[in-house]
Structure 1
Amino acid sequence: MKRYDFIIAGGGMAGLSLAYYLTQSSLRHKSVLILDREPKNRNDRTWCFWEHRDAAGPFESIIFRQWETVTFHGTTYAGPLGMGAYQYKMLRGIDFYRFVLDELAKWPTIERKQVTIEQISDTPTGGQVKADGVIYEADYVFDSTFQLSLDDRKNHNLLQHFKGWIIEAEKPCFDPDKAEIMDFRIEQHGDCRFVYVLPFDEKTALIEFTLFNEQLLADDQYDRVLRHYVDQYLETGGYIIRETEFGIIPMSDVRTEEKPAKHIVRIGTSGGATKASTGYTFQRTQRYLREMVQNMAQSGTPFRQTGWFDHRFKLYDSIFLNVLEQHRHPADDVFTRVYVKNPERVFRFLDEDTHFLDELKLFTTMPWWPFTSAFFAVMRRKWFG
């Protein structure tokens, strides 16, 4: 049985990012094994996120598109949002995979195997991974494959599901300098439903229909909404669908464990990097992984330390999910209030970079009774089940 310093179980965004950060640190000469069942040679997903213009990350050179201006169409407002020093960015999966895999190929200490992971376990001597009948061992196993349990009634377990078309229009109908991040002009059906439009140029854009609820739709229902939106609100003169994408992201406040065992660390969604109230994962994953690598380089342990007061954001997420789950207030109006009345602050808040006073100011813009009711409902559910 061959032993490594680190095994990364799952070679997706989280696993490859971790391997990349290891090569950029004093741990670059450690032996690393990456296990994944896919070769990562296709454009299987797209990540969108906002980022402060003075804090560009290591993948800035492969950003596919970025926008200084984002627009919003809600219940009482339609127009640009104040982003301040933030930019909205799009990163394609294939560009990320190629960039990181090219970097990792420079390091003979890093191995990749295309296998099916069968079991991850902790032993007195290290973490072990069984894949295709072979057992591998390491000082630490970083696991992004663990599936969260989304059926505990103590938790709020919604889904963010979406289908997108990349369309090419006959007429120039898009402003490539403006991205529409939320357009609520579609039937809500008691849910949170919106479309966003990310233009690549004057004739090409990603049009994505997104829902926050508990039930997936039939495939033709997503297409029907997308078709109606394009026909109703975009003057394309006709269009061709160049690519499609579909995804499901858990929006759950299920308790996650970064450290389920002495030699096992969970990363990505498995480790709680997906923000429950928004589904955004990319930037939080990058932040958490950088902290882990820094801890390992300084102290030899990857486990992050968080202050007790930082856990308040988990409570905020639970309250918001309760408002959505119980339909306490129309979601389109909630998002209109939070984005329109909190320019720039909302982006810092969703990144969990605000101070408590900023958070109180944001809360005053929300409908007080639905959120107060949700607070007490969360307390009852978490304490008494």
Structure 2
Amino acid sequence: MRSPAALDVDLALVGGGGAASLVLAALDRHRVRDLRIAVIDPVHRRGQDRTWAFWDHPGNDLDPLLAASWQRVEVATPTRRRVLDLDPLRYAMLRSGPVYDRAAEAERRLGVRRVGAPADELDDDGHRVTVRTADGGPVVRASWVLDSRPRPPRRAGRTNWLQHFRGWWLEADGPLFDPSRAILMDFRTPQPARGVSFGYVLPVDDRFALVEYTEFTPALLTEAGYDAALAGYRDLLGLDPTRLRVREVENGVIPMTDAPFDPRPSPRVVRLGTAGGATRPSTGFTFSAMHRQAEQVARALAAGRPPVPAPAYPRRHRWMDAVALRALDSGGVGGPEFFDRLFDRNPASRVLRFLDGTTSPAEEVALMSTTRMLPMLAATAGDAAGRVRDRVDPARRAATWTVPPAVVGGRDADD
């Protein structure tokens, strides 16, 4: 059997999920019309297979796509419930269907070629990247490759947790939800022995909402465990199950680790999404960084520059995340207390911008001063000692931490 002819392009997107869809839309928005582009993915994404939640400023290209947004959110602990005004920010929810639809329209205008096979091997010779596809698919030769497939970090971290969750899209038989505000973090859920749990509620209207249970822990629950936790949170909210119908279920797993991801594994291969460092280790949020990456890639290509985005988060933020994860993992601070103090002693917009990686050093000093100092100082010392040990004995953490396959699905996962 003759092999398919090689396909020569300027840009190949390996993986066609959220990160690639945002890049295609940004290229179209910046009118990048003179590039030959290919998308390599065995699946052509359509419909609602995940939900992204994030905060940003209103008035950008995402506005027409949003399922809902809120300028007031609630953070709850066992002792109090606090409603926060996010102005000038908003908390927003975006379902995948409109993102994929916009990307499909961008593909048409950009003349994108689709290769419906998984990428098997990337060979970068420093001038071009040869992408070999599985199942007898064509060979693609590209000047640049943007790879958004989930990939493990370069090596194991000092702290390796997971954000894992299950959500029910609930439809009520009558008005039941308050669409004017979302529940961002509800720590009244039973807390795991090691880790953090919380629920949240994102109402689209007064009859339809996403109700979700989330844990930050080192290990996953069983299927029955997620359902039991969700049912318990539904009951804690006082929602009558006889009035509700579960229309959809979504699950996901997102890495929370100080392990280093490699955003540029070779000269002309750039990783996007979680594999490119877009997931914030201390929160698991990914979408805002993916959106920034897509915009930076499109602007660079429009200007004739290499499509290499800036690091998703400043180095100092990655260090602070490592310290926070160590403090949580050691039990030095409790998750509900940690987040409650942040929101209690800082403007909500400052906390959210910090969690998104866009605060200034002065703001970060103000934020750090509102945490419990002794446990955080102990975590800082432990992190410094761990870094010294890693330098003395690099092989100690040479083994790569394996992210469960479920990382590819659910809220805020990238591909």
Equivalent AA in structure 2 for residue 116 of structure 1: P
How far, CA to CA, are the matches of 1:19 and 1:76 in structure 2?
46
**SS where residue 303 of structure 2 aligns?**
helix
Does the CA-based 8 Å contact 2:155-2:260 persist in structure 1?
no
Does the CA-based 8 Å contact 1:50-1:89 persist in structure 2?
yes
**SS where residue 33 of structure 2 aligns?**
coil
Instruction: Give the deviation of 1:112 after TM superposition.
Output: 1.6
Instruction: Give the deviation of 1:124 after TM superposition.
Output: 4.2
How far, CA to CA, are the matches of 1:27 and 1:106 in structure 2?
10
How far, CA to CA, are the matches of 2:309 and 2:62 in structure 1?
23
Which aligned pairs between 1:134-283 and structure 2 lie closer than 5 A?
Answer: 134-149=138-153, 152=156, 154-190=157-193, 191-236=195-240, 238=242, 239-283=244-288
Q: Deviations over 1:114-162 (max 9, x none)?
A: 212211221243012111233211100111115123862x432211000
Partner of 2:128: 126
How far, CA to CA, are the matches of 1:124 and 1:99 in structure 2?
33
Which aligned pairs between 1:223-372 and structure 2 lie closer than 5 A?
Answer: 223-236=227-240, 238=242, 239-298=244-303, 300-305=305-310, 310-343=314-347, 344-372=349-377
Unmatched 5+ stretches in structure 1 = none
**SS where residue 167 of structure 2 aligns?**
strand
How far, CA to CA, are the matches of 1:39 and 1:303 in structure 2?
25
Equivalent AA in structure 2 for residue 70 of structure 1: V
Runs (4+) of structure 1 moved beyond 6 Å?
A: none
Equivalent AA in structure 2 for residue 88 of structure 1: Y
Instruction: Give the deviation of 1:60 after TM superposition.
Output: 1.4
Partner of 2:399: none
**SS where residue 200 of structure 1 aligns?**
strand
Task: Compare 247-256 and 212-221 and name the one that shifted more.
Answer: 247-256
How far, CA to CA, are the matches of 2:308 and 2:106 in structure 1?
25
TM-score, normalization: structure 2?
Answer: 0.87
**SS where residue 354 of structure 2 aligns?**
helix
Instruction: Give the deviation of 1:299 after TM superposition.
Output: 5.0
Name the Cα RMSD after superposition: 1.9
TM-score, normalization: structure 1?
Answer: 0.93
Partner of 1:22: 27
**SS where residue 313 of structure 1 aligns?**
helix
How far, CA to CA, are the matches of 1:78 and 1:359 in structure 2?
25
**SS where residue 139 of structure 2 aligns?**
strand
1:103 equivalenced with 2:106 (yes/no): yes
**What is the aligned-residue identity percentage?**
30
How far, CA to CA, are the matches of 2:91 and 2:277 in structure 1?
23
Does the CA-based 8 Å contact 2:9-2:141 persist in structure 1?
yes
How far, CA to CA, are the matches of 2:307 and 2:101 in structure 1?
26
How far, CA to CA, are the matches of 1:226 and 1:264 in structure 2?
40
Does the CA-based 8 Å contact 2:182-2:201 persist in structure 1?
yes
Does the CA-based 8 Å contact 1:74-1:335 persist in structure 2?
no
Equivalent AA in structure 2 for residue 183 of structure 1: D
Does the CA-based 8 Å contact 2:32-2:302 persist in structure 1?
yes
How far, CA to CA, are the matches of 1:236 and 1:219 in structure 2?
22
Residues 341 and 276 (structure 1), Cα distance of their counterparts in 2 relative to 1, 3 Å cut? same
